[in-house]
Structures are given as C-alpha cells and as structure tokens.
Amino acid sequence: MYDKSNNEDDYGISLMNVRNDWTREEIQDLYNRPFLDLVFEAQRIHREHFAANTIQVSTLLSIKTGKCPEDCKYCSQSAHYDSKLEAEKRIAVDKVIQEAKEALASGSSRFCMGAAWRNPHERDMPYVLEMVREVKSLGLETCMTLGMLNQSQAERLKDAGLDYYNHNLDTSREYYSNVISTRSFDDRLNTLDFVRQAGMKVCSGGSVGLGESSQDRIGLLHELATLAIHPESVPINMLVPIEGTPLADVEKLDVTEWIRTIAVARIIMPKSYIRLSAGRESLSDSDQALAFMAGANSLFSGEKLLTTPNAGEGKDRQLFSKLGLIAEKAKPTVKELSVDAMAS
C-alpha cells in the first residue's frame, strides 16, 4: 500500500487522477479486498466518470468465420481443432450493412466486425475499408477485430473512419504460452501500438476461466493499466467451453472471481468502458446485476458473439427493464452536429 493523502480513500485509491503506474502489488491488494468493499468502491469510482445506470450496447458480427491459422486454445474458429464449426467465406458488404441497420434499430451504438484471420491480407483491405465507410455512414461507431495489423493497415482503417480496433491480450504475459503459441504477447502489444499511432481508439481486454490463477488475472490487469493510454474499451470475457478445443473441460471459474476482475478493472482504469462479453449468456440476471454494480457499463447484445451463443436482444431488454438500465445513445456524427448548428 502507498501512503494515504487527502485525495485517496481509506485503501489508498486516488480519487483524482488516472494512473498508468500501478504496481502488481497495488492491484493484488485491490483484488484481495473484501468482496463487497471492492464492488462498492468500484461503483463509487464508476459514478465519478460515467452516468449511472447507462450501458453502452454493441453488436458483433462475424464477417469471415473459421479456419483461422492461430491456435488459441479456447476458440472454435481455430483450424487446429475439431470443433465442428462450419467455416464460411467472408460475407458480402450488403449483408453487413443490413445487419448494421438492424443493430442500430435495436439500440446498438457501436457495430463490431470480426474476421478469423491471423492478419488481413492486402487483397482483403478494399473489402474491409468499404465496410467501415458504409457502417460509419449509418451513424454507428465502428469497431473491427481482424488479427494483427501493420502500420499501413492501421492508418488506412483510421482514414476510412474506423473508431475502435479490438485486439485482446487474452491473459497475463506469464500464462500466455498456455493459451496460444502461434503469435507472441509482444505481437499483440505491437498491434495495439500501431492502432494508437494511427489515432484509433483501443479495445483490449482478456478472458478469465482459462485455467489461470488469480495472479494471472492480476497480471492481465497490470498490463492493461500500465499501457501509456488505457484502452477506451476493456472486454472481460468468461470462458465459454467449446467441445473439440483444448479448454473444453477446464474447471469453471467461480463467478465472483470474474466480478472481482471487473471491479478492479473499473478502479484502475476509471475512464474506460468495461464490457461484459463472452460468457454472459450463462449468467443469471443477478450475476449480471452484480457485474454492473462492479462497474461494467458495456455489453454485446444479440444472439451470437462471432460463433458463441450470447444473451439475445429480447433477454437484454427484459434485463434492462428489470434493473432500470438505459442504453447509451450513439454519439452524433459531424454531419448531425453541423445540421444542429445550422438549425439553432
């Protein structure tokens, strides 16, 4: 623990500044707090930076499914495993636009597009750039996850209007080799650097329940919170075991450990959106309510997350109604702001 000042709470948490110098020891102290103290503090900090009871809603679409050359041990899309997933070629831009329009109508403010690639080939770039431009023109925030990027690709995606790029760290640096061997931890950090240099926002988090220890969850949070700029969006996934993958039979993690991870993420990255992603469909409404109390304020809505099941839009509407939550509205486009200015 560090010395308490007038700008810190009883546990020594800064009430004022966003920090990028968190130590693992400080994060461990947070993680090991009494559960209710931790969740209470996370909600208090959450309300200093975000509107209470407001959730950012995103929709995720797989634009190219299966036969990925990476060997992520949790993933049904890896060509290394027999998960019975049927591979699909990349889908037409018109189909993506229709899906985006439906997402907007259902209350999503961000549309995320994912492809099962190690990295986009140059022949794929015109396709993804057109997709970004078309989705952006609808008034949605745009996000993509296409694997590793080089600097030129990142710059072109930014120029096309891409708002966010997702590239998860997955787990701690120490546990990483137990999850994936076909790309390094530093490969992931390099892609995040290219995304930042291009001027896009970063979406990066990881997964819990991969067989890792609490020290690995702390290590993942430490990596994210000590980046030069915190990711604007931090997805915290809970493993969805998939038959045929090496992690199909891993012991299920207690949900309170997932919520602890969310709460610590909220405290140490106070201005980031903390997203409930994979694994949410298996949780009770009360579990999800506790996750929101712990500072989660973003989720994926829809029937699927790429290829894994997800809580459907109808269930989410019921949950929002039950808990008194509202969906964050999409931020106005430059064009909309210009029209408003002319009208006033």
Residues annotated as catalytic are 68, 72, 75, 112, 143, 203, 275
260 is written with which tokens? 């602890």
Q: Are 204 and 166 in contact (CB under 8 A)?
A: yes
In total, the chain counts a number of residues equal to: 344
Query: Cβ distance 116 to 77 under 8 Å?
Result: yes
H-type helices in 211-284, by residue range?
214-225, 255-268
What is the C-alpha separation between 39 and 264, in angstroms, rounded? 9
**Distance of alpha carbon 266 from the chain centroid:** 13
Q: At 328, phi and psi to the nearest 5?
A: -65, 135
Determine the 3-state secondary structure of 88 from DSSP.
strand
Secondary-structure breakdown of the chain: helix, strand, coil percentages, each rounded to the nearest 5: 40, 15, 45
Check: CB of residue 243 under 8 Å from CB of residue 283.
Answer: no
CB atoms < 10 A from the CB of 283, how many? Answer: 18
Contact 30, 268 (CB under 8 A): yes
Q: Which residues contact 25 (CB under 8 A, 6 or more apart)?
A: none
**Angle CA(93)–CA(333)–CA(338) in degrees, nearest 5?**
135
Neighbours of 88 (CB within 10 A): 14
Q: Output the DSSP codes for 165-188.
A: EE---BS-TTTGGGT--SS-HHHH
Which amino acid is present at 268? I
